[in-house]
Each structure stands twice: as C-alpha cells, then as structure tokens.
Amino acid sequence: MSTVEWGYRSAGQRLADDVREMLREQRDYRELLYQMTRRDLMLRYKQTVMGFGWAVFMPVINTILFSVVFMRVAPIDVGVPYPVFAYTGLLAWNFFASSLRFSVTSLTANTNLVTKVYFPKEIFPISAVIVSAVDFAVGAIVLVGMMAYYRIPVTSTVLLLPFVLVVEFMFATGIALILAMANLFYRDVKYLFEVVITIGMFATSVLYPVTRFGGATGALLQLNPMTPIIDAYRAVLLRGDLPSTSFLLSAAVSTVVLFVAWLLFHRAEFQFAENV
C-alpha cells in the first residue's frame, strides 16, 4: 500500500471513528439533552406573565405591521392573503433566528459545565434549537387559525411538512454549532451575529418573494438557503404545491452544513476549556 493510499485510509478511518463516537455520545447522553432542553424551556418563560404567549407575540405584531405596509402603502400580490403569507414566513424565520440567538452564547453562558464536567458539549446549542422548535409549534397554532379564517384548504401536500421542518432543523443546528464554537473563541461574534441576522430577514423571502428582484441582486438572494425552505412551507401549506427543486438543494446544503459543523465542533471540543 502506498503512502498516499495509507493516508487516505487513515483519514477515512478517523472520520468513521469520529462519526461513531458522535452518535454513541448522543445516544448515551440523550437523557441529559432532555434535561437541558427542559431547563432552558423553563428558564426562558420563568416569571413571565404571557408565558408561551411570547412565542406568538412578535410574529403577530410584525405580521400586522408589515400587512399595513404591503397591503396599504406598497401593495404586492403574493397569490394568497398577505397576512397569512407574512405570518408563515415570520414563523419559520423566527424559529431559525431564535435558534441561533440562544445558541451563540450557549457555551459561554455555561462555563462551569463546559470546564468541569465531561459530556458532549453540542448538547447546549442543540438544546437551544429544540426549545425554539417548541416555540415554533406554539406559533403554528395561530397559523392554523389564520388558514381557517382565510379559508385556505388543507391538501395532501401537508404531509411533506415534517420533511420541510427537518431540513430547517438541520440547517439551524449546523449554523448553531458553528456560532456557539466561534463565539467561544472570539467573543465579538455575538455582536456581529445580531447585525447579520437582522439583515438576513430582509435578504430572505420572509416578507416578500425574492423573485421580484432581478439581476445580480435577485441571483444573490436566491442563493440564501433559507429562501427555498420558507418558500417550501408556503408551498405545502398555503398553495398545495410540492416544494421547488431549489428546496432539494437546500436540503443537501443543510445536510452537509450539519455534518461538517458537528464534526468540527466535536474535534475542537477539547480546546473549549482553554478558551472559556
């Protein structure tokens, strides 16, 4: 066997070993993940009057504000009633943004556990994503009511909704792992994140179809992986259509991002204590 072949085989074997260890740790520490998620969920709404009502408050307020803008000031035709169009986009985007917002400081906010106890540290950002998924489920109740109010029929394409949700969950988890790790090494990441996530909402089809933009701007906006994901929600829920082919590309990107981010996180985990 040549040196090059041995090197490739060695790298492949190390990758396989890492994957097996990552999966084994998640299986062995699944109870800890449950407890962390439960703790984060309780802390988020502890001593709040509205409780889970906060999960729908901002999407509803933003839906009202942007409905005034895009129905009265600068009307646009989106093919369905604009309020339900906007709320669907905001609900999906808030799941993504909230996952990242709580994940970015998930390691630095738990320094005692990071430095003193061994367990797979990816539990922290993954827990933040799961808690945001709970908020998404609560907000979806309002979406069901809006669909009933606007008499939007439920079609068989709704069966694809879990697949769309899984793709967004994978993409959010992959980015969450990267941000949590990056913020541990460089503490100004959390400040840059707030700027990027704010701009990101307007660079995605949250409030309007990005297909309305032409030229280089339109092409650039189409590269945003979140746009096909949000469009897929609207397709299977509001229009009774199948997700576009670009959604399949986003699914592939989400899978790669999650795998690479998880692998990098796992390999850098032993350096975390030195940078807290």
Number of domain units in the chain: 1
Domain-located, residue 183? yes
pLDDT band (50, 70, 90) for residue 95: very high
In the block, tokens 């694809």 appear at: 160
Please state, in angstroms and rounded to a whole number, the distance separating the CA atoms of residues 55 and 65: 17
Number of H helices, E strands in the chain: 12, 0
Q: Which amino acid makes up residue 57?
A: F
Arithmetic mean of pLDDT over the chain: 85
Domain-located, residue 233? yes
- Domain residue limits at 162: 31-275
pLDDT of residue 107: 85
Domain-located, residue 19? no
- pLDDT tens per residue, range 13-52: 777 777 787 778 778 878 888 888 888 888 777 766 566 6
Domain-located, residue 16? no
* Burial of 254: CB neighbours in 10 Å, binned 0-12, 13-18, 19+: buried
Closest CA to 217 of 237, 203, 207: 203
Domain-located, residue 8? no
Q: Are 231 and 244 in contact (CB under 8 A)?
A: yes
pLDDT at 6 over 50: no
Domain-located, residue 212? yes
pLDDT at 273 over 90: no
Domain-located, residue 25? no
pLDDT of residue 4: 45
- pLDDT tens per residue, range 130-174: 999 999 998 999 999 999 999 999 999 999 999 999 999 999 999
- The 3-state DSSP class for residue 138 equals helix
Closest CA to 181 of 116, 260, 118, 82: 260
pLDDT at 245 over 80: yes
Closest CA to 83 of 20, 137, 32, 146: 146
Domain-located, residue 24? no
